[in-house]
Amino acid sequence: MRVLNESLQEEKAPAPLEVSEVTKVYPGGVQALDGVSFRIAPGERACLLGPNGAGKTTLIRLLTGALRPSSGRVRLFGYGVEDADFLGAKRRVGIVPQSAGMYRDLSVDEYLQLVCELYGGGDLAEVVEAFGLKPYRERKMAELSGGMQRRLSMAAALVSSPEVLLLDEPTVGLDPVATRDVHGFLRKAMAGRTVLLCTHNLAEAEALCESAVILRQGRVLLHERIDTLRRRIQPVLMLRAVQGPERLAEVLAARGCESVREEDAVRVHVEDPEAQAPELLRGLLAEGIDVFECRLVMPSLEELFLDVVGAAHALA
């Protein structure tokens, strides 16, 4: 009974992030979002993907309350920007803005203190320690390197131990070393939290998130778990044979298998690799094709993204 009550309460509790039928038209008539709806459940780690101009930044700004929707509602824990308790809900959300500027006249410590005051508390010493900012506490924010600036943004977002993290392109413009550094911090910070990660980096999204919201031209194309998304695309067998890819492709074609040549290998789409691969290999060996490599390749998020959005739009 208690479990039932708890699950009912969970269902009734408003979602940490909810966007309902949101349209945003900027002055001048530019429509950034068109009837966007999605809901990020508690504990979900979702990435927000989409080609340039898809409306990702507008959506993040709507969620932070910096912009107001032209129609529809954006809610944090059930509160919209027009509600009196919106700031209370926003205090439960840590936000890492996209490559924000840094103050020349405020030190790291002064800024983090300001953040603590506005959140109504937080463990400043803990985040300073966790993000390796201790030696830089007295330094002016603008004097930090790009990587340290991003660490400071993350420290500010996490200082009050928020339940939700909103990350807007947290690694954009960073070198590979700083990116890896930030990913390490994010992995720790995202554990046990609800997260919406807006990124262009599909490898980053795949490594850090379990579901994806894909936007195109201001509309949500899908909101699904990445695992489920993977099942939409057939896995691929990557085959290499001593006789070379041409001969291998010929034999595969004769067996009625559709294949694609890729340098010295051949890719074959299969519906059920476990059932089909052994049969295929036996057949190839029987026909005198010496297969020395047979590897199952699962589609990457990039391939899934291109499949959903369409390569032409993804490049737009």
Partner 1 sequence: MLSREVRILFGKEWRQLLRSRSAMLTALLLPVLMLVVVPGLQMVAASAGNPAAGANIPRGVMLPPGLEAMRDDPKAMLRALLPVFIALGGLIVPAVTASYTLISERESRTLELLVALPVRVGQILLAKLLALLALAGVVTLMLFSIDAGLILALELGSVGYVLALLAVLLSALTFSTASALLVSLLARDFRTSNNLNGMLIGPTIIACFALIIALPSPTLAALVIAALFTAGAGASIFVAMKVISFERLLR
β-strand partners of 214: 49, 222
Burial of 302 (0-12, 13-18, 19+ CB in 10 A): middle
For partner 1, the closer CB: 75 or 90 = 90
User: CB of 145: closest distance to partner 1 in angstroms?
Assistant: 17
| 16 interacts with partner 1 by CB under 8 A | no
Q: d(Cα 272, Cα 279) in Å, to the nearest integer?
A: 11
For partner 1, the closer CB: 171 or 211 = 171
| 193 interacts with partner 1 by CB under 8 A | no
**Contacting partner 1 within 119-158 (CB under 8 A):** 119, 153, 156-157
The structure tokens listed for 291 are 């297969």
User: CB of 104: closest distance to partner 1 in angstroms?
Assistant: 8
User: CB of 218: closest distance to partner 1 in angstroms?
Assistant: 16
Phi, psi of 114 (to 5 degrees): -60, -45
| 99 interacts with partner 1 by CB under 8 A | yes
User: CB of 131: closest distance to partner 1 in angstroms?
Assistant: 16
Three-state secondary structure of 133-164: CHHHCCCEHHHCCHHHHHHHHHHHHHCCCCCE
Q: Which of 117, 129, 264, 279 binds partner 1 (CB under 8 A)?
A: 117
| 273 interacts with partner 1 by CB under 8 A | no
- Contact at 8 Å (CB) between 229 and 73? no
For partner 1, the closer CB: 106 or 233 = 106
| 17 interacts with partner 1 by CB under 8 A | no
Q: List the one residue out of 179, 222, 231, 227 whose CA is nearest residue 200.
A: 179
Question: H/E element holding 32?
Answer: strand 31-40
143-to-89, 107, 156, 289 alpha-carbon distances in Å: 33, 9, 17, 63
**Contacting partner 1 within 51-80 (CB under 8 A):** 61, 64-68
Size of the site for partner 1 (CB under 8 A): 36
The structure tokens listed for 58 are 């507008």
User: CB of 177: closest distance to partner 1 in angstroms?
Assistant: 24
- Contact at 8 Å (CB) between 116 and 136? no
| 31 interacts with partner 1 by CB under 8 A | no
| 196 interacts with partner 1 by CB under 8 A | no
| 25 interacts with partner 1 by CB under 8 A | no
Q: Which region among 97-105, 187-195, 240-248, 254-262 touches partner 1 (by CB under 8 A)?
A: 97-105
Question: H/E element holding 33?
Answer: strand 31-40
| Residue ranges binding partner 1 (CB under 8 A) | 26-27, 61, 64-68, 81, 86-87, 90-91, 93, 95-106, 110-111, 114-115, 117-119, 153, 156-157
